[in-house]
């Protein structure tokens, strides 16, 4: 019989389901579960488990802890398919928020209410809705794989309530503010770096990983082919974020001239330090050639520039990228052109992110239709 019910005491029943023969030992394998209640309740439980077994949805219980499972998932599933930076982010999120709350529990006993409690505790700690959402995405992927590996019958992250994600307001400089910013940056050692950010819309990691071999001062263009990634004090070069992030960007002539002057100064520094100079072919490097640290760059250079220009201190390095896109779109540049310059995966991302900086475009479209259809001058 595929399923048995054995009396174990007053209102106590052992439900035994035959699972087949172990191919390694040849022994018969059973799933055993004790039901406290009436015999009819035990029969209903047996029927449900037999149905799961017949449909292929049955999952054998595991005594593996959530901590042990996450270790396995990170090594066997996440690590082979993720970029190193993303993998390290996943590890950190799980260590900081998930393991302290759920790590000691048995994997097969995690319920949606446990996951909900995790997110509620994160909010009680003052963590943002965005942090909860990002953590949820990692936990959801981990438990989704457990379902695929037949370690869970269903994903316990399904059905939980997530807090509102208050998106951080995008900041961008106006044309007048750009003039003030550039004037304040003209005396800064890294003024040329910030100029490049404004005119190319490159991501900070792309600028800090830019090599001279990817800059053509004759044609006035550069190629984005690598980024600089950091984990703690360690750094490494990585491929761009997406395939569309690999791109060629033409440069304004004034920026080409300042880059040429910067290259000449860098050559003098290289000669001065000789063999002590770490030559990674970086366009922007420290005194001895090592990659720049974005946090130090912001603290020692960007923030003082903003102060001198009387601009909001909340402006981030990344907001210079937003400024480039906002200025182009507000001036009527084609969204696809802007999307290609930014290295977005598609123009939809550009429109969703910067649609609010294109005022009057619908009115212009209506005026053109009036002229085309009704013969009314626009």
**What are the structure tokens assigned to 107, written together?**
């994997």
**What are the structure tokens assigned to 97, written together?**
């928020």
pLDDT of the residue at 58: 65
Residues 246 and 107: their CA atoms lie apart, in Å, by 41
| Range 42-66 average pLDDT | 76
Q: Percentage helix, strand, coil, to 5, in the chain?
A: 55, 15, 30
Give the range among 73-82, 98-107, 360-369 with minimum mean pLDDT: 360-369
pLDDT of the residue at 369: 67
pLDDT of the residue at 167: 67
pLDDT of the residue at 376: 60
pLDDT of the residue at 1: 54
For residues 48 and 363, the model is more confident at 48
Residues 200 and 42: their CA atoms lie apart, in Å, by 68
pLDDT of the residue at 183: 97
**Please, what's the b/e burial string for 92-112 (b: 16 or more CB within 10 A of its CB; e: otherwise)?**
ebbeebbbebbbeeebbebee
pLDDT tens digit sequence for 159-183:
899 988 776 667 899 999 999 999 9
**What percentage of residues in the chain have a pLDDT greater than 90?**
57
Nearest residue to 240 (alpha-carbon basis) of 255, 226, 223, 251: 226
pLDDT of the residue at 65: 93
**What are the structure tokens assigned to 147, written together?**
């379902």
| Range 322-329 average pLDDT | 92
* pTM: predicted TM-score of the whole model, two decimal places: 0.68
Domains and CATH numbers, the chain: 3-55 (no CATH), 66-148 (1.10.150.130), 175-357 (1.10.443.10)
Residues 354 and 332: their CA atoms lie apart, in Å, by 12
pLDDT of the residue at 71: 95
| Range 353-376 average pLDDT | 67
For residues 25 and 79, the model is more confident at 79
| Range 294-307 average pLDDT | 96
| Sequence-distant contacts of 185-192: CB under 8 A, at least 24 apart | 185/305, 185/309, 188/301, 188/304, 188/305, 189/301, 190/284, 190/297, 190/301, 191/258, 192/255, 192/258, 192/259, 192/261, 192/262
pLDDT of the residue at 347: 86
**Chain-centroid distance, C-alpha 96:** 17
| Range 214-225 average pLDDT | 96
Does 124 have pLDDT greater than 70? Answer: yes
**What are the structure tokens assigned to 142, written together?**
């981990």
User: Distances from the Cα of 254 to the Cαs of 43, 257, 309, 338, in angstroms?
Assistant: 82, 5, 21, 20
Listing DSSP states for 251-300 in one string gives --HHHHHHHHHHHHHHHHHHHHHGGGS----BSSB-TTSPBPPHHHHIII
> Is residue 190 helix, strand or coil?
coil
pLDDT of the residue at 378: 54
């Amino acid at each position: 019989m595929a399923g048995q019910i054995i009396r174990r005491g007053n209102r106590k029943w052992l439900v035994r389901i035959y699972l087949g023969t172990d191919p390694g030992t040849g022994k018969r394998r059973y799933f055993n579960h004790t039901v406290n209640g009436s015999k009819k309740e035990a029969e209903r439980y047996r029927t449900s488990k037999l149905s799961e077994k017949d449909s292929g949805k049955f999952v054998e219980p595991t005594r593996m802890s959530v901590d042990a499972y996450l270790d396995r998932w990170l090594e066997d599933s996440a690590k082979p398919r993720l970029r190193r930076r993303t993998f390290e982010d996943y590890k950190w999120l799980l260590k900081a928020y998930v393991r302290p709350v759920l790590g000691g529990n048995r994997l097969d006993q995690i319920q949606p209410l446990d996951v909900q409690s995790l997110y509620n505790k994160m909010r009680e700690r003052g963590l943002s809705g965005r942090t909860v959402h990002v953590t949820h995405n990692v936990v959801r992927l981990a438990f989704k794989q457990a379902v695929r590996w037949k370690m869970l019958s269903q994903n316990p992250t399904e059905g939980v309530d997530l807090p509102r994600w208050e998106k951080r307001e995008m900041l961008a400089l106006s044309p007048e503010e750009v003039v003030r910013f550039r004037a304040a940056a003209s005396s800064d050692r890294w003024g040329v770096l910030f100029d490049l950010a404004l005119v190319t819309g490159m991501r900070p990691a792309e600028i800090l990983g830019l090599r001279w071999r990817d800059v053509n001062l004759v044609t006035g263009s550069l190629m984005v082919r690598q980024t600089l990634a950091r984990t703690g004090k360690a750094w490494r070069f990585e491929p761009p974020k997406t395939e569309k992030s690999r791109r060629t960007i033409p440069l304004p002539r004034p920026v080409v001239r300042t880059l040429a002057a910067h290259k000449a100064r860098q050559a003098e520094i290289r000669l001065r330090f000789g063999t002590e100079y770490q030559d990674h072919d970086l366009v922007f490097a420290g005194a001895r050639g090592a990659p720049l640290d974005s946090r130090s760059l912001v603290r020692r250079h960007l923030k003082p520039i903003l102060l001198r220009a009387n601009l909001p201190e909340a402006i981030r390095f990344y907001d210079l990228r937003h400024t480039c896109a906002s200025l182009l779109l507000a001036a009527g540049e084609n969204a696809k052109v802007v999307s290609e310059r930014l290295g977005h995966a598609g123009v939809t991302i550009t429109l969703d992110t910067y649609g609010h900086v294109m005022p009057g475009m619908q009115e212009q479209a209506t005026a053109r239709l009036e002229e085309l259809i009704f013969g009314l001058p626009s």
